Structure 1
Amino acid sequence: MKLALVHDFLVNFGGAEKVTLTLAEMFPDAPIYTLLYHHKLDRLFANKKIIVSPLQFWFKTFRIPVRFLLPWMAGAVENFNFSGYDLVISSNNSFAGGIITEPETIHISYCHSPTRYLWDAYHTYVDEQRLPGWAKTIIKKLLHNLRIWDKLSAGRPSIYLANSTHVKKRIHKYYRRDAQVVYPPVDTHKIIPKKSNAGYFLVLSRLSGYKRIDRAILACNALKLPLVIIGEGEARKNLERLAGPTIEFLGWQSDQSKLEYLRNARALLFPGEEDFGIVPVEAQAAGKPVIAYGVGGARESVMDGVTGLFFDEPTTESLTIAIRRFITMEKKFDWREISQHAQKFSREKFKQDIMTIVNQQLKIKN
């Protein structure tokens, strides 16, 4: 069987890239097609055959930011040639699902999310651009054209997989396609749960505005509780201005260091809306409760009152109330039960689910 993998662009390493890496482990001989590739990921993909688009020249030679190459990405992904392949698996939240395959080729699209800046976050994305009005007009036209392409190309995959029920609903809303839920792989086997803690609350996240880390900072300021924040991002300076004396920013940390901070945390704060969210699962694998905004993927990975607590309103006040509630019932949480719950999102479970679907599709084809 001739098989290929496709990923939007391998320039950073997050949850979507972990999915592609796991797929590459499952299918070690499969080449990985991607629009752009950054050499800093060599330590993870060094033994893989990476096939890039012509946009790589501009990205690598002139260090042009990814967003400035946006107008040419749809055309670039369509120019990848998958002639002769029996099966192609795309891992995508923007362009990889729009590849063109032969009629007899099975295309499984693992969708992390319909492209947010084209659909539900379109107005927010445009408003956040610090650009003059005429420039925003151009951006709106570009995104309008990409939205048409995205909807049309959504009919190309043979089958859709979604990383959560939350994303499954959005796939149906925007693409009018059904999807099967396969939760993304989490390395729960690498995390040793721990009963005790060092007394601090933890945020482990990219420091971006939509992550709403400001809610966690303001809540811990008000309650005078210690909060450790791990991660980097464009919002760091603004967040540091909000922080009181009990807030500590640690910036980038190694994977091993992040796991140790998770194991020693009192609880994880997860104040934004996510399509799934791997960090809450990692925290639970470590035996730690999660205090999360009760929408999106958190509703699927956290059991309210058992492995964590939800706050229902997207406000600092609602999170503050939830933290106070957690403190009053903290001793009721069982670290063993929390850790056991996380195992349903393990890497092995992901591999089993993917292989079952691959075999089903091949059986249908034959």
Structure 2
Amino acid sequence: MTRSDPVVAIAHDYLTQRGGAERVVLAMHRTFPAAKIYTTLYDPEGTYPEFREANIVTSALNRIPALRRDHRAALPFLAPASSALKVPADIVLASSSGWAHGFDTDGQMLVYCHSPARWLYLTDQYLGAGRQRGAKALALAALKPFLIRWDRRSAAMADKYVANSTIVQDRIRRVYGKTVDVVHPPHSVDIQGIREPIPGLEDFIVGGGHFLTVSRLLPYKNVDQAVEAFRGLDDKLLVIGAGPMAEKLRANMPDNVRLASHLSDAQMRWAYASAKAVIAPSYEDFGITPLEGGAWGKPTIALRAGGYLDTIVEGVTGQFIEEPTAALIRQAVESFRAEVWNADVIRKHTEQFSEERFRERLRQEVLGLVRA
């Protein structure tokens, strides 16, 4: 970019965890490396270390350590904090699943929408329908009417929306009444990078051949169902993730299941490279783990729903289960045959979701706003 180019800023809900949305923000920053990143909360220890190299501007909430450690506790304060966060730029590229589209700017805003807020429009799925949901669910119920008004007003002020998948495209149409394009997020797997064993799991993964689930540990991710599916099986399952359900999962894990959290990229490479297949039983707006596994030539057993419908070719790069239950996951694992899958074909399919393609689409979208 030259000095005559518009000033671009990046906005994101909160940088307190490691997940697909945060990977997307890193790809956005590699596309516009001079851009400042604006966010409500930033926990350098909780998210990817690459963010330390960026110029990050936070809201006033970031002064409270407890909220940096648990952004869900900030729910009553996030709407006003988002509205008060001023982003001085010509173009704001907002990576949003609930808050960044509400940041204040005099420039034009392009919203890359991971989903309209799940806690507002898919509340039971987000919290876990029929489960004990605690004080946070009560707080959400009280705040929901106000938050829906704030959310829809913020969405209406954006100059353009794009969706990360076809299901989110449809969700944006139903919630906001907007017809938008789809720009799939990229995987950012470097299969040439170094691999580093996960401490304490060298014997568990000796020789590889394990199944792998990579997920935030939230009710709608259905990781508990994947864990239960392996109870009594000879096959092994490695779960990589962090979240509110971690302690409960650890307390009920069978001997052939392990949980690891906060891994480095080198450790993630080791886990993927030696896996037999990925298991993805969650309701995902996009769901990047099949692509991360696919970069290594690994097939995926996935729920027939959400973003997986965009990324998995049934019988070629993976197979579907119809419901996220332990019984159906177990059935798929028991019938899994590694020789059915062509690793080269899977890798080739994954190339359609490269970071290079994603970055080029972002540049086109930004230039489109500049010329408008």
Return the letter of the residue paired with 2:305: V
**Distance in 1 (alpha carbons) for counterparts of 2:277 and 2:120:** 34
Helix, strand or coil at the partner of 1:257: helix
- 2:10 aligned partner: 5
Helix, strand or coil at the partner of 2:109: strand
Correspondence for 2:249 among 224, 236, 239: 239
Cα deviation per residue 1:202-228 (whole Å; 9 max; x = unaligned)?
222233332112222222225432222
- 1:101 aligned partner: 105
Cα offset, 1:68, TM superposition: 3.2
Correspondence for 2:339 among 331, 334, 337: 331
Cα offset, 1:243, TM superposition: 3.0
Cα offset, 1:160, TM superposition: 0.7
Q: Percent identity?
A: 32
**Distance in 2 (alpha carbons) for counterparts of 1:64 and 1:332:** 44
Cα offset, 1:38, TM superposition: 1.8
- 2:196 aligned partner: none
- 1:283 aligned partner: 293
Whether 1:314 and 2:303 are equivalent positions in the alignment is no
Cα deviation per residue 1:275-306 (whole Å; 9 max; x = unaligned)?
11111111011011101111111111111100
Cα offset, 1:138, TM superposition: 4.8
Cα–Cα, structure 1 residues 249 and 8, in superposed 2: closer, same or farther, change >3 Å?
closer
**Distance in 2 (alpha carbons) for counterparts of 1:351 and 1:290:** 26
Whether 1:112 and 2:114 are equivalent positions in the alignment is yes
Cα–Cα, structure 1 residues 3 and 292, in superposed 2: closer, same or farther, change >3 Å?
same
- 1:229 aligned partner: 239
**Which of 231-240 and 90-99 deviates more?**
231-240
Name structure 1 gaps, 5 residues minimum: none
Whether 1:39 and 2:47 are equivalent positions in the alignment is no
Return the letter of the residue paired with 2:359: K
**Distance in 2 (alpha carbons) for counterparts of 1:363 and 1:354:** 14
Return the letter of the residue paired with 1:204: V
**Which of 204-213 and 279-288 deviates more?**
204-213
- 1:203 aligned partner: 213
Cα offset, 1:182, TM superposition: 1.0
> TM-score of the superposition, structure 2-length normalised?
0.86
Return the letter of the residue paired with 2:85: F
Helix, strand or coil at the partner of 1:108: strand
In 1, are the aligned partners of 2:126 and 2:219 still within 8 Å (CA)? no
- 1:178 aligned partner: 179
Cα–Cα, structure 1 residues 209 and 191, in superposed 2: closer, same or farther, change >3 Å?
farther
- 1:72 aligned partner: 77
**Which of 235-244 and 284-293 deviates more?**
235-244
Name structure 2 gaps, 5 residues minimum: 1-5, 194-206
Matches within 5 A, 1:134-145: 138-145=139-146
**Distance in 1 (alpha carbons) for counterparts of 2:67 and 2:123:** 30
**Distance in 1 (alpha carbons) for counterparts of 2:319 and 2:67:** 47
Helix, strand or coil at the partner of 2:289: helix
In 2, are the aligned partners of 1:191 and 1:285 still within 8 Å (CA)? no
> TM-score of the superposition, structure 1-length normalised?
0.87
Whether 1:29 and 2:34 are equivalent positions in the alignment is yes
Return the letter of the residue paired with 1:119: Y
Cα–Cα, structure 1 residues 72 and 226, in superposed 2: closer, same or farther, change >3 Å?
closer
**Which of 154-163 and 8-17 deviates more?**
8-17
Cα deviation per residue 1:31-90 (whole Å; 9 max; x = unaligned)?
221112223358423343222212222x2388674233322222222223345x321111
Aligned pairs, how many?
A: 351
Cα offset, 1:137, TM superposition: 5.1
